[in-house]
Amino acid sequence: MERNMDFIKITEKALEKIISLKSAYKTDVYLRIGVRQGGCSGMSYSMNFEGTDTLKNTDEILKLENFLVACDPKSLLHLYGLSLDYSND
């Protein structure tokens, strides 16, 4: 089962893993996803937990069960329609 959001889809497995990783933090954090300029290989994806004090007014913010996902407007153009899954293979 996938959760459909404004610009990304997160599978149940990915959601479980994100919640598990988030629980290791003592402070209130959110998941920031984005795209960074790369060298010859083009762009690369980024996913990091950050403190909620770093949220920006321009961020697109998605509220999930017990955490937030944020994305900057520039990255949003490249991430629209992204499907996020998790596998331990």
Q: What is the pTM of this model?
A: 0.81
Domains of the chain, first to last: 28-89 (2.60.300.12)
Please tell me the distance from the alpha carbon of residue 44 to that of residue 29, in angstroms, as a whole number. 22
Q: What pLDDT, in 10s, does the model give residues 71-85?
A: 999 998 888 888 999
Longest pairwise C-alpha distance within the chain:
38
Question: From edge to edge, which strands make up the β-sheet containing 43-51?
Answer: 43-51, 29-37, 68-71, 60-63
Q: For residues 38 and 50, give the distance between their C-alpha atoms in angstroms, rounded to a whole number.
A: 22
Strands 29-37 and 43-51: antiparallel
pLDDT digits (tens, 9 = 90+) for 31-71: 999 998 876 777 888 999 999 999 999 998 888 877 889 99
